[in-house]
Amino acid sequence: MHRILRDVSDRGPGSGAALGPLMDTFGRHVTYLRVSVTDRCDFRCVYCMSEHMTFLPKQDLLTLEELDRLCSAFVARGVRKLRLTGGEPLVRRDVMTLFRALSRHLETGRLEELTLTTNGSQLARYAADLAACGVKRVNVSVDTLDPDKFRTVTRWGDLGKVMEGIAAAKAAGIKIKLNAVALRDVNAGEIAGLMEWAHGEGHDLSLIEVMPLGEVGAERVDQYLPLSEVRAGLEARFTLIDSAHRTGGPARYVEVKETGGRLGFITPLTHNFCEGCNRVRVTCTGTLFMCLGQEDAADLRTPLRASPDDAVLQAAIDAAIVRKPKGHDFVIDRTTRIPAVSRHMSTTGG
């Protein structure tokens, strides 16, 4: 399968290699692509999904060969960082075939980073293989270190398996960045301890404000904890020094003097990060979202399947990028009851 994927995606002149880099109408170069390989997940996190989700029929998903060709078309246009997401990407059958195929872009130097966001449940199984594919770092979602609370937040998750996965990735030489969604009345009192543990293990930690995407069976206003409030609480105990460190994503970082570690803040509501956005997202069905917080999207599956040559696909990508908006309109308050967008985060890709 690895050989087949290489043959499908290396298309020469028709691949878009002669085309220029992707730039939107605000002068922002698109160099970072997040691709969901599945909308399915083995967790049901309370801020991400409802407990009884209806997932897409498997026949609606792009094949692994199509995902490789699509990613490669973006790499040919100057995308330097590629993140595979879900749902939970590691529950996609034969997903390592895709990682192995895409790793050729690391070998040629056209791709700077191939990585993934995961809940960690399958990481112990795949860590060594991911490292062999050139994956240098992964993002793992951990919102609490309390096993019972972890089960409550994820509904189905096992903290012990996630910790095994993190340890396996560390042993394989993969750098870990932990992501934690700040949730009022859930983990607000644990964030300092989570940070100290993460930094003690050599991991970075990024905190994320809950985002108003999809119905999840809970009031988002009750979940929402502004990171401005979290930061103020941390500054009462720790010395936070603003850092120029960037990973290509939306986080803004500080160095924590007392722990020696790095802490990131992802603040789509209290301080959005749209002005420097270099990212687009593609769903597992081939739908391109130019902005996480907007409904406008472009169908890439049809042009992908319309021709074995990538010219039609590249034209569709160009037409979509010029529609990339300046920013999103996320709001969470008592008067705004419906989500900003109706789709779930697992559909778009985390």
Angle between helices 64-75 and 311-321 (to 10 degrees): 60
The pair of structure tokens assigned to 279 is 């990212």
291 is in an annotated binding site: yes
With helix as H, strand as E and coil as C, how does 38-101 read? CCCCCCCCCCCCCCCCCCCCHHHCCCHHHHHHHHHHHHCCCCCEEEEECCCHHHCCCHHHHHHH
Pairwise CA distance, residues 289 & 106, whole Å: 25
8 A C-beta contact, residue 169 and residue 138: yes
Q: Is the peptide bond before 189 cis (omega within 30 degrees of 0)?
A: no
Q: What are the Cα distances from residue 341, in Å, to 49, 61, 159, 289, 349?
A: 14, 21, 30, 12, 14
In the β-sheet with 32-36, what is the strand arrangement from edge to edge? 240-242, 252-256, 261-266, 204-209, 175-182, 137-141, 113-118, 81-85, 32-36, 279-282, 287-289, 297-299
152 is in an annotated binding site: no
34 is in an annotated binding site: yes
274 is in an annotated binding site: yes
48 is in an annotated binding site: yes
211 is in an annotated binding site: yes
Pairwise CA distance, residues 195 & 166, whole Å: 15
Pairwise CA distance, residues 313 & 85, whole Å: 22
CA 1 to chain centre: 26
The pair of structure tokens assigned to 2 is 């690895």
H/E element, 2: helix 2-9
280 is in an annotated binding site: yes
Pairwise CA distance, residues 291 & 32, whole Å: 12
Per the listing, tokens 């966001």 go with: 117
Pairwise CA distance, residues 147 & 157, whole Å: 9
177 is in an annotated binding site: yes
125 is in an annotated binding site: no
Angle subtended at Cα 176 by Cα 175 and Cα 179, rounded to the nearest 5 degrees: 150
279 is in an annotated binding site: yes
83 is in an annotated binding site: yes
**Which parts are annotated binding residues?**
34, 41, 45, 47-48, 83, 87, 117, 141, 177, 211, 274, 277, 279-281, 291
**Which parts are annotated binding residues for GTP?**
34, 83, 117, 177, 279-281
**Which parts are annotated binding residues for [4Fe-4S] cluster?**
41, 45, 48, 274, 277, 291
**Which parts are annotated binding residues for S-adenosyl-L-methionine?**
47, 87, 141, 211
